[in-house]
Structure 1
Amino acid sequence: MMSPIPRFMPLPGTPPLVEMKGIAKYFPGVVANEDVDLTVMPGEIHALLGENGAGKSTLMNILTGIYQPDKGEMLIDGYAKSLASPLQAIAAGIGMVHQHFKLVQAFTVAENIHLGWAETPIGASAPVLEARTEVLARRFNLETRPSARVSELSTGEQQRVEILKVLARKARILILDEPTAVLTPAEARALFAALRAFVAEGHAVIFISHKLEEVLEISDRITVLRGGRKVATQDAADCTVKGLARMMVGRDIVLADMRARPQGAGPLAAMPVLALDKASTDGSGGAVALKDVTLAVRPGEILGIAGVAGNGQRELSQVLTGMRPLSGGQLLIDGQAVAKADARAFAKAGIGHIPEDRLKSGLAPALSVAANAVLREYDKPPVSARGMFSPRAALALARSIAEAAAVAIPDFAMPVRNLSGGNQQRLVARREMRIASRLLVAAYPSRGLDVGAINTMLRYIVELRDAGAAIILISEELEELLNLSDRIAVLHEGEVMGVLDNDHIDIERIGLMMGGQRQADIKAAV
């Protein structure tokens, strides 16, 4: 067993690596930050918590030179510092991995790692860059494929490239925004080991996450924001999950088993609303992404899809919503085989889709909040009538969707990319639920949401189920699947290892199936 990494102990009088004093930032109609203090010491992993829209991203955008504060000052290593651009922040040793990836899709992993890096050898060949990337990946325990194009990678793989790119540049202050949202538990453990080694050298990490258990595991101190203001800074050892949740949202949050159907809920129907029969499809790189998948989901049922990220979940959700054609097998709606993939036709048939990557697949980032909110209904009354689009009706519908999603919008004309990631997620979810009269395919619907918003999101899904819709819930969170699903199918390398009824599920058995063992083989072994 490896000995634990010794903690870095700064000498008395050592100044903080980062000190933000009285920071304020205002946008039209919005107080993003007000009188926020944040102190980060050498050798520390400092967690930053808060609800979606609490001001975490704005505060970090100020620290990384993307925004300029309207009030307050910043000190780096004890000296006042004004960071006018991200380049100045990088020069000061501040690096950030954002929620939304900033990679060049057409470039390889190795090319993305070396792009704009002062240490990139001039005129280096692709094999040289790939070899250097492989060395970096081993050093930081972040498995990747140096020669693969980013467009061919799963969301989890792209996240690893982002993290590796920043770590390679020797940042002294590393900011991670939801870094484990798309990592497997094993990958998260490897990342945590890398972070502990990183701060043991006297560096610091600012760790933003909504996963409160992992925050308590990895952090030394925790700062909580609410409504753009600092609520508290406490030692992690003195905190609990329940206490942190209460500080974040201002009330107690109880996550319960939601499988029970209330009186009056629609009964399970016998005929599947959608089924796959030995369905196969190719991935973006040409390799088989799904192989002989047979699944069915009935009205009034939640079918959970478990599996480690990158095992065909994205391709499955695209097949189920008409975005990706089959290379073999059949897809049936109400027992009738579908001739071709057609996302528009699937939506008209009452199939909604909360995609894995909300900004890339669920929204048009440059368009307004209003335009994105009505994206699925722009050609229907009341938004459009007799071929004429009504901006007033579109705005009214957008306001209604935002209200149902509990998203405060200061200006519906602003680009949707200006919303926080969590608010984007909630807006997409409510928009898709409006059209999902038959089926909702929800891929990681709670990803990036705070604990209160997760509870609300899952209750929305349950209400849709109770109204008689079928739900396919794709998630890496086993607790989430167990609390909602009637049955759970396990994916491994694009194949279904088995489908389990959620009455007496053995967690160990699910783990074995996620690792590649088939349900029938496990039964035989038992």
Structure 2
Amino acid sequence: ITKRFPGVLANDSVDFDVRAGEIHALLGENGAGKSTLMKILYGLYNQDEGQVFLAGEPADIARPSDAIQAGLAMIHQHFMLVPTLSVAENVALGLTDSGFLVDTSSVADRISELSGQYGLAVDPESNVWQLAVGERQRVEIIKALYRECRLLILDEPTAVLTPQEVEELFVILRRMADDSRGLIFISHKLDEVLALADRITVLRDGRVVGEVKPEATSKEELARMMVGRPVQMAPDKEPSQQGRVRLAIEGLHVEGDRGKRAVDNLSIDVRGGEIVGIAGVSGNGQRELAEALAGLRPVTSGRISLDDNDVTDSTPREVRAAGLAYVPEERMRDGVVGEFTVAENLMLVDHNAEPYCRRGVLRRRNVAERAVTLVEDFNVKTPTIDTITRSLSGGNIQKLILARELSAEPTVLVASQPTRGVDIGAAEYIHRRLVEERDRGTAILVISEDLDEVLALADRVAVIFEGRLMAVRDRAAVRVEEIGLLMAGSGA
């Protein structure tokens, strides 16, 4: 398969096959060509060259309906469900024989059969909005089984699951493979790929760079194939040398965008020289907590202190002046101005201060000198400091934000989803810089939905569920099973 976009060769003569009864993992960094290849297979794109074969016969898949008709199904990272409808109604949506009136009772009966056969515990009568994330994923799998799919594509299926839900999902996927279905498993979590897959194909720069069996490879080798160089999988860390409390959060209550309580009576402190990691499934108050700490969201009640100074009702500028730096989870929305240059984004919060501004006039030479220094110090890959920021890769934009925030020499750093959507190489670099910043005495709060990231970085691990702090554990005392239960709201 070959697919070109203007200026980009997304897939370069890619050969890839999936056998009935196997789970074939597809690995690659962002931009390696995984999504393009799967979108061609599912009829969202048309290839420029090459041919798709199903069961040995050429297949003309011009649109998703052709793929579904041919027995393909795709479960996206963001589920395609209608929250206000029941499970049965969601499964019935789009059925060609359903007409205008759907017999949901017969659909529900079939759902119950499939649930029993594959271990997909879900109530057909429940509304989707009432379901936990893991249950919603089961509904997507049931939709695929109901349509008698023979080939299932799963895009980052474990990204929003607890460890226990991941184990349950793997049992379900193995049962599907045992029933002679083919499964394509797309993930960046190398441990999971090695535990589940029968074969692994690695893409880099649009080409297949290798196909291996799990028993004949390792995490380190897979990472090397993906990046093209050796990768340090976890940052080197000495025991933390903790100082005094730099960030104190006491009885914090924060409302979400819809007026409901998102952070519920949360209390925790972070000392200088330590990383506290907050783990939790997406949507449990993490974003609202981070925004409240940065002065971007009002606090309903409670107190936030930086070095014993109350900053609860402070503006973002006042919070920053008090010593807090902030890496937001939505880098393009909240971290940079995409149409600004690299240099302009690096000076975004200091543009009106000496030595970059005098009497209201920007001193561009000083701005340029500072930008060049930060780009070099933080290994931001950009053609020039005058390059428009949105043209950079996600990893380089994240390094740009980190450079800007750490250059302020903060006493507290709040980093929300610091490596979401970035390449392995960029994630390796960001982790190393966070540990170095900790060793310089900064108090760091890392908020991440990636439990592996929290465990790799944190000196203490806290778990958030529905805005409440479930527990705080020293990293040495952490048991993944317990953390998983806490992430699901039990086990405290």
Output the TM-score relative to the length of structure 1: 0.72
1:353 corresponds to: 327
Unaligned runs of 5+ in 1: 1-22, 519-526
1:335–1:169 distance in 2 versus 1, CA, 3 Å: farther
- Among 264, 267, 276, the alignment partner of 2:249 is 276
Shift of 1:223: 1.0
1:97–1:505 distance in 2 versus 1, CA, 3 Å: closer
Between the aligned partners of 2:373 and 2:43, the Cα distance in structure 1 is 33
Does the CA-based 8 Å contact 1:370-1:398 persist in structure 2? Answer: no
Does the CA-based 8 Å contact 2:251-2:302 persist in structure 1? Answer: yes
Does the CA-based 8 Å contact 2:395-2:426 persist in structure 1? Answer: no
After superposition, what is the alpha-carbon deviation per residue over 1:317-357, rounded to whole angstroms, capped at 9, x for unaligned?
343334443333222334333454856765676431332x6
2:303 corresponds to: 330
2:447 corresponds to: 474
Query: Number of paired residues?
Result: 475
Deviates most, 280-289 or 35-44 = 280-289
Does the CA-based 8 Å contact 2:394-2:422 persist in structure 1? Answer: no
Describe the SS at the equivalent of 2:232: coil
Describe the SS at the equivalent of 1:217: helix
1:290–1:50 distance in 2 versus 1, CA, 3 Å: same
Q: Which amino acid aligns with 2:208?
A: K
Does the CA-based 8 Å contact 1:324-1:341 persist in structure 2? Answer: no
- Among 37, 62, 73, the alignment partner of 1:84 is 62
1:316–1:153 distance in 2 versus 1, CA, 3 Å: farther
Question: Pairwise mapping of residues 230-245 of structure 1 onto structure 2 (< 5 A)?
Answer: 230-245=208-223
1:504–1:378 distance in 2 versus 1, CA, 3 Å: closer
Q: Which amino acid aligns with 2:460?
A: R
1:147 corresponds to: 127
Describe the SS at the equivalent of 1:122: coil
Unaligned runs of 5+ in 2: none
- Identity among equivalent positions (%) equals 39
2:394 corresponds to: 424
1:19 corresponds to: none
**2:420 corresponds to 1:440:** no
Does the CA-based 8 Å contact 2:463-2:470 persist in structure 1? Answer: yes
Describe the SS at the equivalent of 2:46: coil
Describe the SS at the equivalent of 2:50: strand
Deviates most, 169-178 or 343-352 = 343-352
1:249 corresponds to: 227
Does the CA-based 8 Å contact 2:235-2:431 persist in structure 1? Answer: no
1:173–1:474 distance in 2 versus 1, CA, 3 Å: same
Between the aligned partners of 1:491 and 1:414, the Cα distance in structure 2 is 33
After superposition, what is the alpha-carbon deviation per residue over 1:461-499, rounded to whole angstroms, capped at 9, x for unaligned?
223434554321134555543442232223344333443
After superposition, what is the alpha-carbon deviation per residue over 1:74-108, rounded to whole angstroms, capped at 9, x for unaligned?
22222223333333333333332334x36588855
Between the aligned partners of 1:207 and 1:398, the Cα distance in structure 2 is 41
Between the aligned partners of 2:308 and 2:110, the Cα distance in structure 1 is 49
Describe the SS at the equivalent of 1:196: helix
**2:61 corresponds to 1:61:** no
1:380–1:236 distance in 2 versus 1, CA, 3 Å: same
Between the aligned partners of 2:260 and 2:67, the Cα distance in structure 1 is 40
Describe the SS at the equivalent of 1:190: helix
Describe the SS at the equivalent of 1:37: coil
Shift of 1:37: 0.5
Does the CA-based 8 Å contact 2:111-2:146 persist in structure 1? Answer: no
Shift of 1:181: 1.5
Does the CA-based 8 Å contact 1:109-1:161 persist in structure 2? Answer: no
Does the CA-based 8 Å contact 1:142-1:190 persist in structure 2? Answer: no
2:264 corresponds to: 291
Describe the SS at the equivalent of 2:16: strand
Does the CA-based 8 Å contact 1:65-1:88 persist in structure 2? Answer: yes
Question: Pairwise mapping of residues 341-490 of structure 1 onto structure 2 (< 5 A)?
Answer: 346=319, 350-355=324-329, 381=351, 404=378, 423-424=393-394, 427-428=397-398, 430-432=400-402, 434-435=404-405, 437=408, 438=410, 439-449=412-422, 451-475=424-448, 480-490=453-463
1:146–1:462 distance in 2 versus 1, CA, 3 Å: farther
Does the CA-based 8 Å contact 2:378-2:399 persist in structure 1? Answer: no
Q: Which amino acid aligns with 1:223?
A: T
Between the aligned partners of 1:104 and 1:240, the Cα distance in structure 2 is 36
After superposition, what is the alpha-carbon deviation per residue over 1:287-306, rounded to whole angstroms, capped at 9, x for unaligned?
54433211122344311123
RMSD of the alignment, in Å?
4.7
1:117–1:453 distance in 2 versus 1, CA, 3 Å: farther
Output the TM-score relative to the length of structure 2: 0.76
- Among 34, 37, 48, the alignment partner of 2:26 is 48
Shift of 1:49: 1.2
Describe the SS at the equivalent of 1:330: strand
- Among 190, 194, 213, the alignment partner of 1:212 is 190
1:87–1:487 distance in 2 versus 1, CA, 3 Å: same
- Among 237, 250, 254, the alignment partner of 1:259 is 237
1:502–1:345 distance in 2 versus 1, CA, 3 Å: same
After superposition, what is the alpha-carbon deviation per residue over 1:375-415, rounded to whole angstroms, capped at 9, x for unaligned?
68557649x98699x9xx99x97998699566679997797
Q: Which amino acid aligns with 2:71?
A: G
Does the CA-based 8 Å contact 1:319-1:341 persist in structure 2? Answer: no
After superposition, what is the alpha-carbon deviation per residue over 1:199-222, rounded to whole angstroms, capped at 9, x for unaligned?
333321111111122112211111
1:523 corresponds to: none
Describe the SS at the equivalent of 2:462: strand
Shift of 1:172: 2.4
1:446–1:278 distance in 2 versus 1, CA, 3 Å: same
Q: Which amino acid aligns with 2:404?
A: R
Does the CA-based 8 Å contact 1:373-1:431 persist in structure 2? Answer: no
After superposition, what is the alpha-carbon deviation per residue over 1:139-173, rounded to whole angstroms, capped at 9, x for unaligned?
66376995355xx9987777666656555544322
Q: Which amino acid aligns with 1:424?
A: G
